[in-house]
Amino acid sequence: MQSGRSCLAIILAAGEGTRMKSLRPKVLHEVAGRSLLGHAIASVSAAGADAIVIVIGPDRPEVAAEAKALLPAAEIAIQQERRGTAHAVLAAREALARGYDDVLVAFADTPLLRPETYQAMRAELAKGSQIAALGFEARDPTGYGRFVIEGGALKAIVEHKDASEAERAITLCNAGLMALEGRDALAILDAIGNANAQNEYYLTDAVAVARGKGLKTVALTAPESEVQGVNDRAQLASVEAEFQRRKRLEVMANGATLIAPETVFFSHDTRIGRDVLIEPNVVFGPGVSVADEAVIHAFSHLEGAEVGPQASVGPYGRLRPGAKLGRKVRIGNFVEIKAADLGEGVKVNHLTYVGDASVGPNSNIGAGTITCNYDGFLKSRTTIGAGAFVGSNSSLVAPVTIGDGAYIGSGSVITRDVPADALAIGRGRQVEREGWARNFRAEAQEMKKNAAKTKD
Ligand code: UD1
Ligand code: MG
């Protein structure tokens, strides 16, 4: 990592988040299937952080639990009282005192920051600055801290509430993100006071303090779309939209075709191969990978699934967690696959549920087949061999095994194992009665006539 410099990341997550109107802490709300906190952790990790401290408010065990679940090595620091962003950073004093080359301060509610941006800030420290702060050109600067630039250098950051008229005219605003040279960080943070409009300890004052010590401070910029934060549900949706926009471009840049990109929704971890075709209105939940040359037809929903090369899913296909499709598998309309392994060339073309199952290569599962995997208490498995043929509208009552090359007659309820290459039929035997329908119609018509007469 960057000239071998060590890095501590401090993620501030002690927000109140009242505008979310939610029982859940704000930073646990999700964008593309991952919590805001998860996005922040992933970005600073990718930027090379060796240690990560999450600063949370008191009584927020859910946030600590999420941090630990995402990254067992994460350290938790509690900020007992909300007394400002510098005060929050100092909750991580112990980690700061260990001594790192770079200290990154990130906000947990700003999930779109790219690792490259954090890396660019670290690069400024490596080049000799003591502080690098990230700014953006704000469409509406109201409420943000303003960057005061003098002679090309960042002289100070002035909070909106403390700013003069002239300073309020500045549109280059503080995104909140800061990188500090670790050697000086504690001394700078400890020197910050709270003599301001909000009586808070502002992290932004680190700039003026550093300048007072004759240290070098620099401003970097990022697009406003990258630094947008989440305070309410509308902003959450806006961040989601920006994430999806980026992900669609990434998927297409990697060689997949999206016919109507704006109608396809990805998860943070969706992996799409080359020459994959994705039709309109497809949703990817977490944990999906799609191999090269596969086709995902319109209106399909996939989560926790693996789609093999040249396989095809949908239209209206549903893949649930543990669905694993081999090469050239075909999943047709209104088919649901869960925790099932389908070998190469398997066809499940219509109206079928395959759950807790394995299906050998080249088997054909007819329309309306159901693996009956649940008896109200336990789940059981269905095992189907290679080259088997399951006739339409069959119920396979698990646990049950169907051998290689076996044939299941349509409409069967299969409750016992079927040997390889056997035929199994489990349904009522068909009977025909000559002339029955003709006689029935004649009798019925007679009865209807008599009934009408008695009414008259
Ligand atoms: C902060 C910046 C401002 C910047 C803006 C960008 C300061 C003083 N101001 O202002 O320059 O333009 O972000 O959005 O840094 N937090 C704590 N503990 C605290 C206070 C805050 O953990 O005691 C956390 C919050 O949860 C949040 C972040 O720090 O994640 C920023 O706090 P917030 O109160 O939103 O700061 P702003 O006033 O928006
Ligand atoms: Mg804020």
Confidence of residue 3 (pLDDT cuts 50, 70, 90): low
Instruction: Determine the topology of domain 254-331 in CATH.
Output: UDP N-Acetylglucosamine Acyltransferase; domain 1 (2.160.10)
What pLDDT does 401 receive?
A: 98
* Length of the chain as a residue count: 456
Strand partners, 335: 317, 352
Write down the domain spans for the chain: 7-227, 254-331, 334-456
Q: Do residues 264 and 278 make contact, with C-beta atoms less than 8 angstroms apart?
A: yes
pLDDT in tens, 53-85: 999 999 899 999 999 999 999 999 999 999 999
**Which of 409, 432, 405 lies closest to 419, judged by CA?**
405
Q: What is the best residue among 12, 85, 87, 104 to mutate for testing ligand 1's pocket, by most ligand atoms within 8 Å of CB?
A: 85
**Which of 402, 398, 311, 322 lies closest to 359, judged by CA?**
402
Q: Is 455 helix (H, G, I), strand (E, B) or coil?
A: helix
What pLDDT does 16 receive?
A: 75
C-alpha 13/C-alpha 389 separation (Å) is 56
Q: Is the pLDDT of residue 2 over 70?
A: no
Q: Does ligand 1 come within 6 angstroms of the Cβ of 55?
A: yes
Q: Do residues 11 and 41 make contact, with C-beta atoms less than 8 angstroms apart?
A: yes
Residue 161 tokens, joined: 């509430």
CATH architecture of 334-456: 3 Solenoid (2.160)
C-alpha 86/C-alpha 357 separation (Å) is 55
C-alpha 358/C-alpha 389 separation (Å) is 14
Q: Is the pLDDT of residue 325 over 80?
A: yes
Q: Is the pLDDT of residue 301 over 70?
A: yes
What mean pLDDT is predicted for residues 212-241?
97
What pLDDT does 17 receive?
A: 83
Q: Is the pLDDT of residue 1 over 60?
A: no
Q: Is 355 helix (H, G, I), strand (E, B) or coil?
A: strand
Average pLDDT of every residue of the chain: 97
7-227 shares its CATH topology with 334-456: no
**Which of 25, 1, 23 lies closest to 13, judged by CA?**
25
**Which of 260, 270, 274, 358 lies closest to 310, judged by CA?**
274
Amino acid identity, position 251: V
Q: Which residue has the tokens 């909140």?
A: 176
Residue 83 tokens, joined: 């007394």
pLDDT in tens, 421-454: 999 999 999 999 999 999 999 999 999 999 988 8
Determine which residue's CA is closest to atom 21 belonging to ligand 1.
85
Span from the CA of 408 to the centroid of ligand 2 (angstroms) = 63
Q: Does ligand 1 come within 6 angstroms of the Cβ of 87?
A: yes
What pLDDT does 332 receive?
A: 98
Q: Place domain 7-227 in its CATH homologous superfamily.
A: Spore Coat Polysaccharide Biosynthesis Protein SpsA; Chain A (3.90.550.10)
Residue 34 tokens, joined: 């991952």
What pLDDT does 335 receive?
A: 98
Positive or negative: CA dihedral 189, 56, 120, 141:
negative
- Which secondary-structure segment (H or E) carries 134? strand 131-137
Catalytic residues: 350
Q: Please give the number of the atom of ligand 1 that sits closest to the Cα of 83.
A: 23
